[in-house]
Structure 1
């Protein structure tokens, strides 16, 4: 049985170990994902941080943190990192964490979420590439958004350059 719940203070070491292991051999990894999660936690910027637990062991984690669009905050969040124990990947754990995290953002009144990742994977959650939102240095099709309310920080459809929390610079 899979249990999804918010992380607790005692989960941090297990989340770090899981994240390090999950990204160890990933071709797109910079090896900084665990440091990013720690930095977000230390800055109080983990808006939603969920763990997946099976048989008393943390087997997955997802983080959502605030982003800015053209330097303005306004209810938009970034998804990631998402970590699942390697022997349990491709079994729906990551998807369950993402869906629950998105549900919680909507319940909080968030306006939307962005993700940098594989379009074929994230499109199943409703994410789409949108040329009006830009993240420098990456192919535009890999930077995607999911609007919950249809408005951005200025009260219109979101447009501009997206910046993640400074914690994403951790370990770089």
Structure 2
């Protein structure tokens, strides 16, 4: 028996930007900018290495993602600014290599824990009075939905998200705002008299 499909909550672009702009911690701001700006899973952003970010090509390399796949996704200008701001404070007096964790945890030899990022989202959404169903994964859904609304081809979104099956990516078509897609209700059409 198939479970009924439920669609995730998709906050507006302004709500997501307000959420990111409300973050004071530079590390968290960089993390959440990457979650939304690159469409990363929380586990993917947590395990990024310094060398996975390429400002020359504006790409993020995602190694050992779901199903042991590797891919590239885009690096947004805003994410790069947040990363540079974070990097200046976190790595200023430290020696580092491209193989080091971009977001180290309490133990420098480990990356930040996924639960830390998820708990940060819980605090943020409560502070911002957002829908209780909003999660870190919501930012990935918003990346896909808002990209579709901007006219990005679904096949490119599939590649950036690392979906093996196109049907997984095409589900976002149902979540887009019809007003952004140029669809007009017959009730609103010009009437011929």
Q: TM-score of the superposition, structure 1-length normalised?
A: 0.30
Q: TM-score of the superposition, structure 2-length normalised?
A: 0.28
Structure having the higher strand fraction is 1
